[in-house]
Amino acid sequence: MKTGQFETWLQLPDESEVDVIVKWEGTYERAYISGPPENCYPETSEMEILSVEFVGDWPEGLTQKEFDALCKKAEDRFLCRAWDQLKNSEDDYDA
């Protein structure tokens, strides 16, 4: 299991953008498809967004419910970026 984080943006209800830090945890193991069948296995992967935090102060007038809805709306973008970061990490995975 690897963890990481990245800075990105979140669009607020008034359509302004604020910087946030997204923290994630995930695993990725490439498929092994050569050799005898008993030595082969499919790709396995798992990803979870652990938290989304504002870089600065909490925006004035934004409720927790609104924040949760905005994070849900941006979840696919956050997950895509986390996968890219995990798969491109230098120590265990090839780019």
Q: Which of 12, 8, 22 is nearest to 73 (CA)?
A: 12
What confidence score (pLDDT) does residue 55 get? 95
DSSP assignment string, 50-83: EEEEESSSPPTT--HHHHHHHHHHTHHHHHHHHH
Any domain includes 87: yes
- Please give the Cα distance from 89 to 84 (Å, whole number): 8
Q: Tens of pLDDT along 7-54?
A: 999 999 999 999 999 999 999 888 888 888 888 888 888 999 999 999
Any domain includes 55: no
Q: Which domain holds residue 70?
A: 62-95
- Confidence at 94, pLDDT banded by 50, 70, 90: very low
User: Domain tally for the chain?
Assistant: 1
